[in-house]
Chain A
Amino acid sequence: MALLEVRDLRVVFQRRGTEPFSAVDGVSFDVNPGQTVGLVGESGCGKSVTSLAIMGLLPARGNKVTGSVKFEGTDLLTLSNREMRDRRGRDLGMVFQDPLSSLNPVIPIGLQVTEVLERHRDMPRKKAMVEAAELLDKVGIPDPTRRLSEYPHQLSGGMRQRALIAIALACRPRLLIADEPTTALDVTIQAQILALLKELVQDTGTALIMITHDLGVVAGLCDEVNVLYGGRVVERAERHQLFAEPRHPYTHGLLASIPRLDAARGEKLVPIKGSVADNIPWDSACAFAPRCPNALDVCRQVTPALEDEDRRSLRCHNPVLPGTPAAQEVPA
């Protein structure tokens, strides 16, 4: 049994007087202990809402979450708020994108780390402080004892993100969700944080869900990659397979549209035409059809199903054949 089994997860946002909007539209995936699973997609594809739904952090009103999120056999969606509070921080850890806004600005770093230890591991404050210093040291913060009494604004962006990771890992969670953990950071700091995450996952056997828009980050870190578009998984594969042979036109298009450091210069980029605003609902069509260079008539009439084939799942009527160069399209 997988550590986390997400089945047919749906999040519908609804306000009175407006059409309901499906941000996450039937997402299913598994995470095994020690595995790193990537959720990749552009803004608005539902990757962050998926993570918030798993953590039970969506606002109480205005949305409807259905499906199931089984963590070691228990459905997290059925737990009460109190039960969920016991799990968050102990079994499930989370690292957010913007470290400054997810740390409390008026509380010293040390207290923010020890809070988790006191709450979940019933440690007395003094002992927790010693442990907190060890944690900060482990995530590579120099002079950790001094840093305990400092406030978030006194740390640099990279150090704040390290502190957040220390908090998330304080109770050795079995699952860590990292939502764009390096997007707000510079590349050299990003490399440090990614190396740190990789090392921690290997050392502690923590399962990691990595949410990002950066295919480069995924390529170096994740075992399995889920590509999301319009709230649904459109392609899932092991990372070598996905990058070597992208089959969904969206994955294929994404890879062709990013300039690569190691590619020959002077080649023109092949963008995907249009933007996410051109999506059509999944109800009776493929949401990507208006932007897709491979679109057929059937794509606008029948919703494609996620089909498994040879260790890969694909949601497409007319997938890209292996070895096809990117389609040349005039951008709309």
Chain B
Amino acid sequence: MTAAVEPAAADAPVGGSLVSVQDLKVHFPIKRGLIVDRTVGHVFAVDGVDMEIRRGETYGLVGESGCGKSTLGRGMLRLVEPTGGKVVFDGTDLVELKGESLRRMRRRIQMVFQDPMSSLDPRQSVESILVEGLRAHGLDKGREATGKRLRELLSAVGLPSTSLRKYPHEFSGGQRQRIGIARALAVEPDLIIADEPVSALDVSVQAQVVNLLEELQEQFGLTYLVIAHDLAVVRHISDRVGVMYLGGIVEEASSDDLYAEPLHPYTKALLSAIPVPDPEVEDRRERILLTGDLPSPANPPNGCRFHTRCPWKQETKCATDRPALREVRPGHKVACHWAEDIQAGRIRPHEVETVLVEEGGISPDVPLIGPSSVTEVLNP
């Protein structure tokens, strides 16, 4: 047990902090009106996330759709502008950077996207796709050196060198994802943010890409942030895992600890919901079925974001105070007021009344003032 508490996995070369995200917020305004754009509310996609990724490790970010995990990844790269907070990458705050210095910094952080078909330009050959990044960052040093580099890249991701002249449509889904990975590798990044790298692929091909990512990490000493909804994949690939719910991280621990002993009620429910391909296990297992849906991120519940669906909700604190992410064991953080009591069995789960979730996403607390359409302006 004591060995498992050590946050760093023994086999991975894990160093100091590479990225430190501090209180990052990404809020999207909800606009109304045709003539005057009025902001009538915000979608709190990412709402105060603290996270640290160490050099050489794989950090897995899991959560259901709409929890803000992709926005967090994009916000770190400033593909969407953060509303507040800091992203300190190797000593530099990315949020402060502008223009050329930001562009240069982006060479060191690359992204692999979910859908390999729509993230590759159908009219660019593989060669052109790979060379583009090299040129942009001044790494194209003569025809021969570049040719050699391209062949290296292709062999690293397991594609034949004849692929250079081909176009994305000539490849299968798994091969396209390999091209996407080669594109990210081309500029020798330190950190690769992989947003759902395998979820668009067939089961038998998923394993190929997962193994490839692991091999490349060993070979080039990469650091990964893997964003995915599939917990089994994340557990397999990650050293540490953060679980997100409605814009915030609710639990963070080493991969083994998290799965062996989840502390947050949401993590417990999430883990129990995943089907295991083994009938013996499926017949025995007890499910924690959550009622209802994810509340709208435009109108998140007060207090603990999860209290509307939590089977362990208590009378005090849960509905009023937002729990902070606190370290309850070495390397194991959880954002729950009652984590210790739940774990010790002092609090029993109870029935949860299903709360209706309104789609549309505009907070009813924000009054609509002024005209909301042209007709309203013309016929007051």
Contact = CB atoms under 8 A, between A and B. Distances in A.
Contact of A269 (B64, B211, B275, B354): B211
Interface in A170-218: 186-192, 194-195, 213-218
A327 interface: no
B269 A186 contact: no
B202 interface: yes
B312 to A, nearest CB: 15
Nearest to A45: B202
Contact of A262 (B207, B281, B354): B281
Contacts of B294: 156, 186
B203 A186 contact: no
B356 interface: yes
Contacts of B283: 220
Given A156-B357, A261-B271, A265-B255, A219 B207 contact: no
Contacts of A155: 359
Contact of A276 (B202, B280, B290): B202
Interface string A245-278: 0000000011101111110011011111101110
A258 B64 contact: no
B202 A213 contact: yes
A268 B203 contact: no
Nearest to B63: A186
A258 B172 contact: no
A159 B287 CA distance: 20
Contact of B232 (A186, A188, A253, A261): A261
B360 interface: yes
B276 interface: yes
Nearest to A273: B208
Contacts of A220: 275-276, 279, 282-283
A281 interface: no
Interface in B343-366: 354-357, 359-360
A215 B211 contact: no
B204 interface: yes
Nearest to B281: A262
A219 B293 contact: no
A191 B277 contact: no
A157 B64 CA distance: 12
Contact of A240 (B203, B279, B291): B279
A257 B273 contact: no
Contact of B235 (A215, A261, A331): A261
B277 A188 contact: no
Contacts of B204: 42, 253-254, 257, 271-272, 275
A182 to B, nearest CB: 9
A275 B275 contact: no
B289 A331 contact: no
A188 B214 CA distance: 28
B293 A159 contact: yes
Interface string B192-234: 0000000000111111101110100000000000000101110
Contacts, number: 158
A187 B231 contact: yes
B256 A271 contact: no
B338 to A, nearest CB: 20
Contact of B359 (A153, A188, A189, A190): A153
Contact of B273 (A188, A240, A268, A269): A188
Interface string A279-298: 00000000000000000000
B205 A271 contact: yes
Give the size range of B's interface with the partner.
Answer: 35 or more
Interface string B4-33: 000000010000000000000000000000
B158 interface: yes
Contacts of B206: 257-258, 271
Nearest to B238: A265
Given A156-B293, A240-B279, A255-B277, A142 B359 contact: no
Given A195-B289, A260-B276, A265 B256 contact: yes
Most chain B beta-carbon neighbours within 10 Å: one of A153, A191, A243, A266: A191
A258 B282 CA distance: 16
A232 B236 CA distance: 32
A143 interface: yes
A262 B276 contact: yes
Contact of B259 (A187, A195, A261, A275): A261
A149 to B, nearest CB: 14
Nearest to A332: B158
A269 B210 contact: yes
Nearest to B158: A331
B236 A219 contact: no
Interface string B122-143: 0000000000000000000000
A104 interface: no
B11 A266 contact: yes
Contact of B290 (A156, A192, A216, A253): A192
A140 B175 CA distance: 42
B203 A275 contact: no
Nearest to B201: A275
Given A189-B293, A254-B203, A215 B277 contact: yes
B278 interface: yes
Nearest to B292: A142
Contacts of A275: 172-175, 202, 204-205
B264 to A, nearest CB: 13
A81 interface: no
A27 B174 CA distance: 28
A244 B203 CA distance: 19
30 contacts: A42-B204, A140-B354, A142-B356, A187-B64, A187-B231, A188-B270, A188-B290, A191-B275, A191-B287, A195-B287, A213-B203, A216-B282, A218-B277, A219-B277, A240-B280, A243-B279, A258-B232, A259-B207, A260-B277, A260-B278, A262-B278, A262-B281, A265-B235, A268-B211, A275-B172, A275-B174, A275-B175, A275-B204, A331-B211, A332-B158
Interface of A: 42-43, 140, 142-143, 153-159, 186-192, 194-195, 213-220, 239-240, 243-244, 253-255, 257-262, 265-266, 268-273, 275-277, 331-332
**Which 4 residue pairs across A and B have the least CB separation, nearest first?**
A216-B275, A271-B207, A259-B236, A220-B282
Given A257-B204, A260-B276, 8 more contacts: A187-B274, A189-B293, A190-B273, A220-B275, A220-B282, A254-B203, A261-B235, A275-B172
